[in-house]
Structure formats: C-alpha cells, structure tokens
C-alpha cells in the first residue's frame, strides 16, 4: 500500500521473577525479572496484536490457575495493568483487533487470547498441536484453559514466512526453536525524527545551575514555543524535577505538557508505576536511564562496574515493560549501551552512549558550539558562540568609531 504508515505501542504486562536457567542454557539459579509485554500495531488495513501476555486470573490466584509451580514464579501485576485496559487507554477496544499473532504458546504469551473472540489467530505450523500435547517435561508451561475457549475461533497456521498485508510492513517469520512453531514479527516502522524539549534548557538558556530549578511553567512555555516553530514534528516534553513523584501527580503534569504542545513525555529513572499510569491513560512515554541529571551527584559516566551495569540493564527492562516506547541511555559505556539495546524490545536513544543505540540525541547548544564548555561526550559541529561574540565586537567597534 503506497504511503501506508504504521504505529506501534509496547504494552506492559506481568513481571515474572525467574531463574536465569529458565531463559538461557547454563543461566544458573540467579533470579531475574522478566517482562511479558504485548505489542499493538496500527496498520491501515487493521490492528495487529503480537502476543497477549499472562491470564489476568493469576493476579488473584496464580496457584489456582497455573498450578503448584506458580509458588516458584513470583508475579508482579495489577488489575489496572491488564491488556484490555491498556488497549482501551490507547483509544481502541479489544474487539477492534483484527489479527492476534502468537509468538508461541507458553503461559506468559497466550494468557489473554479470550479478550479477542472476533480476531483471527495466527501461529506457526505445529504450534497449536504442541500446545495441546507438549513434551511431558514441558507441560507446566502450557495452560489448557488459555486455549479451550478459542476452539471455535478462526486459527491460521503458517508453515512459511508470510507478508501479512502484502506491503512489506508487517511480516510473519517462522523461527522455530523455543517451541516447534515459534514465530516472530518483522515490523517496518517509518523513520521518525523527534524534538526533545529537555529540562537542560534551564542550564543552557536560563542560567540555572542545574535542571532541578526548572518548573512546569518553564517547560510549558518552551514546549509551546517549539510547537509553534515545528508544527509537524513529534515533540517530547521533559517532566521536570519532582513533577512525577507519584502516578496521580505525574498524570496531571504530563497532561499539562501535552496540552502545551508535546506529543509524548520523558521521565528519568525506573518509575514503573508512573510510566504505566501514563501509558494506560493514553500518554506516550520515553524512559531514561544511565546518568539521570535530575538526581545525579555529578556528571561522571555511570555503569562502569559490573553491579552498576546490571542495575542499568535491569532498569531499562523494567522501563520497557512498564510501557515506554523508547529509552534514552545517557553517558554509559558503549558496550553497555549495546547490551541494553539488544535486551530491550523498544528503541534506544543514546547521548554519550556510543553508536550502537538505535538513535541519537544531542543538545542543540552543544551541537552548534554555543558557550565555551560542553559535556565530554558531546560533539561540536560549529562554534556559533564564538561567531556571535566576533560579530558583536565588530558591531560595537563600528558604532564607537561612527562607521555604522
């Protein structure tokens, strides 16, 4: 379809705590937190959902629904975060979903099938058969009640790769291994440019010593100015210091930035409850980990030792699971940024984090060389500050000697 465009939302689901050995061979007994997200894809020919997460019955009674092994699989999830509520928060109903593509049939991917009785379900060849009759040592990972209510629904099994809409935008890829019919989706999203109206404006334009002095009123003013100058560009508005302390306050302030002209908001740190609240209320969120200027004691590179690197990877995963559609990685080692980028299901945007990130952001004053001091990880592509000073000196000289 010529000119067809896509939009995709990452929808956070349950967070499971599992041993590494469950995720990778030789992973050991160390416990890690694993996200169970779904992805909603808006195509001109219909909505596509990739995976459905866990069944909401586990919120109240995981052992009753999953069985005794659930005692060893702690779940963090609330009734405000269920898949149907998140889809409603975006502005759709579950009945609007045309296709549900199931990557595989494990309990953390197939639990929400019953939300979509009118959809067409797509799986890889042999996946359904294996879901009903798995190997004995794998039976715990398949919950029959996830599937039985959908027996009369329309199921489509693909034995080969398939272009879902015939335009190359959403492609079904058969990738067996984890299960016999495991599949992936290749989603060709359009390239997007963003303008971030950051609280750094307080330091580079307003003369403040830190970003902590920037207020909501300051951000509203500058977002409005940028919107007037860039009416057709996606604008991200920074949530200023202490404007997102709790979900209720964050929602109120985020809406003010949206009303001022922002398309989405960015907030620092793993404030997962806040992110989830904003996303479920239809506000797109950009996460931020690594160096977080609003709370940092200094501007030294972070993530250099193993413990701090693990913290940053964990934060990025939690931020993505909470529903952020993009994550800023600031002033961390290049190798760590590459690890995070490979680990999270959403794009990463680097600032002083190397070239392995999916995109880059740079303060415009640093890029054009305003001032005389810049962060060590920034680059100057001109020295406009010097040019301005030279122009002013020439002007003053001409006025004084009356040649102007």
Residue 58 exposure: Cα atoms within 13 Å on the Cβ side = 29
| Domain contains 44 | yes
Q: Are residues 160 and 216 in the same domain?
A: no
Report pLDDT for 162.
95
**Is pLDDT above 80 for 54?**
yes
Q: Are residues 203 and 111 in the same domain?
A: no
Q: Are residues 113 and 209 in the same domain?
A: no
Point out the least confidently predicted range of 71-80, 138-147, 288-297.
71-80
What is the average per-residue pLDDT within 32-40?
A: 83
Report pLDDT for 187.
87
Active site residue 338: no
What is the average per-residue pLDDT within 311-317?
A: 94
Please choose, from the candidates 292, 303, 298, 293, the residue with its C-alpha nearest in 3D space to the C-alpha of residue 354. 303
- In degrees, rounded to 5, the angle at the alpha carbon of residue 243 between the alpha carbons of residues 237 and 248 is 105
**Is pLDDT above 90 for 45?**
yes
Report pLDDT for 25.
64
Report pLDDT for 299.
87
> What is the pTM assigned to this prediction?
0.67
Q: Are residues 26 and 158 in the same domain?
A: yes
pLDDT more than 70, % of the chain? 98
In what side-by-side order are the strands of the sheet with 97-101?
7-11, 38-43, 46-50, 97-101, 120-124, 154-158
Q: Are residues 130 and 202 in the same domain?
A: no
Q: Are residues 182 and 261 in the same domain?
A: no
Q: Which of 136, 161, 187 is the last residue of a domain?
A: 187
pLDDT more than 90, % of the chain? 72
Find the CATH number of the domain harbouring 302: 3.20.20.60
Q: Are residues 182 and 213 in the same domain?
A: no
| Domain contains 345 | yes
| Domain contains 156 | yes
137-159 residue pLDDT tens = 889 999 999 999 999 999 999 99
User: Would you say 271 and 253 are in contact if contact means Cβ atoms under 8 Å apart?
Assistant: no
Report pLDDT for 377.
85
Catalytic residue of the set 81, 205, 330, 338: 330
DSSP character at residue 197: E
Find the CATH number of the domain harbouring 107: 3.60.15.10
Q: Which of 187, 222, 249 is the last residue of a domain?
A: 187
Report pLDDT for 1.
33
361-403 residue pLDDT tens = 999 999 999 988 888 888 999 999 999 999 999 999 999 999 9
Q: How confident is the model at residue 232 (pLDDT cuts 50, 70, 90)?
A: confident
Q: Are residues 204 and 150 in the same domain?
A: no
Q: Are residues 165 and 23 in the same domain?
A: yes
User: Would you say 239 and 212 are in contact if contact means Cβ atoms under 8 Å apart?
Assistant: no
| Domain contains 90 | yes
Domain with 333 in it: 194-361
- Cα distance between residue 339 and residue 150, in whole Å: 38
Count: domains in the chain: 2
Enter the tokens of residue 282.
């239809």
* Pairing, β 75-76 against β 38-43: unpaired
Report pLDDT for 24.
65
6-33 residue pLDDT tens = 888 888 788 888 887 776 666 677 787 7
- Cα distance between residue 52 and residue 20, in whole Å: 23
- Cα distance between residue 200 and residue 203, in whole Å: 5
| Domain contains 140 | yes
DSSP reduced 3-state for 238: strand
| Domain contains 396 | no
Q: Are residues 148 and 202 in the same domain?
A: no
| Domain contains 403 | no
Q: Are residues 245 and 142 in the same domain?
A: no
**Is pLDDT above 80 for 2?**
no
Q: Are residues 178 and 305 in the same domain?
A: no
**Is pLDDT above 80 for 191?**
no
- Cα distance between residue 322 and residue 316, in whole Å: 10
Report pLDDT for 4.
53
| Domain contains 2 | no
Report pLDDT for 385.
92
What is the average per-residue pLDDT within 67-94?
A: 90
Q: Which of 145, 164, 187 is the last residue of a domain?
A: 187
- Cα distance between residue 199 and residue 253, in whole Å: 14
103-128 residue pLDDT tens = 999 999 999 999 999 999 999 999 99
**Is pLDDT above 80 for 3?**
no
Query: What does the mean pLDDT of the chain come to?
Result: 91
């Amino acid at each position: 379809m010529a000119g067809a465009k896509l939009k995709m939302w990452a929808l956070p689901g349950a967070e499971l705590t599992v041993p590494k050995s469950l995720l990778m061979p030789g992973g050991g007994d160390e416990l890690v937190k694993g996200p169970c997200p779904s992805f909603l894809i808006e195509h001109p020919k219909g909505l596509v959902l990739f995976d459905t997460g866990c069944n909401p019955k586990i919120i109240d009674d995981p052992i009753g629904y999953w069985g005794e092994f659930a005692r060893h699989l702690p779940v963090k999830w609330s009734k405000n975060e269920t898949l149907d509520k998140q889809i409603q928060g975006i502005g759709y109903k579950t009945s609007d979903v045309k296709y549900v593509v199931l990557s595989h049939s494990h309990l953390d991917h197939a639990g929400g099938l019953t939300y979509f009785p009118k959809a067409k379900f797509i799986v890889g060849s042999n996946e359904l058969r294996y879901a009903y009759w798995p190997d004995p040592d794998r039976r715990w990972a398949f919950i029959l009640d996830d599937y039985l209510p959908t027996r009369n629904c329309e199921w489509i099994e693909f034995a080969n790769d398939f272009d879902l809409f015939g335009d190359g935008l959403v492609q079904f890829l058969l990738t067996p291994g984890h299960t016999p019919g495991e599949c992936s989706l290749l989603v060709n999203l359009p390239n997007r440019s963003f303008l971030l109206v950051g609280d750094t404006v307080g330091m580079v334009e307003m003369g403040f010593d830190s970003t902590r002095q920037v207020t909501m009123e300051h951000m509203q003013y500058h977002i409005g100015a940028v919107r007037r100058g860039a009416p057709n560009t996606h604008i991200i508005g920074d949530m200023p210091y202490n404007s997102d302390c709790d979900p209720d306050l964050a929602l109120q302030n985020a809406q003010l930035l949206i009303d001022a002209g922002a398309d989405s908001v960015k907030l620092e740190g793993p404030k997962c409850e806040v992110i989830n609240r904003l996303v479920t209320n239809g506000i797109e969120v950009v996460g931020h980990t690594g160096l977080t200027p609003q709370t940092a004691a200094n501007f030294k590179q972070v993530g250099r030792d193993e413990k701090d690197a693990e913290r940053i990877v964990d934060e990025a995963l939690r931020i993505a699971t909470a529903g952020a559609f993009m994550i800023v990685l600031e002033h961390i080692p290049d190798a760590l940024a590459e690890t995070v980028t490979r680990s999270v299901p959403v794009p990463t945007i680097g600032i002083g984090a190397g070239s392995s990130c999916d995109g880059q952001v740079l303060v415009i004053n640093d890029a054009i060389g305003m001032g005389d001091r810049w962060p060590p990880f920034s680059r100057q592509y001109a020295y406009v500050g010097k040019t301005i000073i030279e122009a002013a000196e020439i002007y003053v000289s001409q006025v004084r000697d009356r040649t102007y």
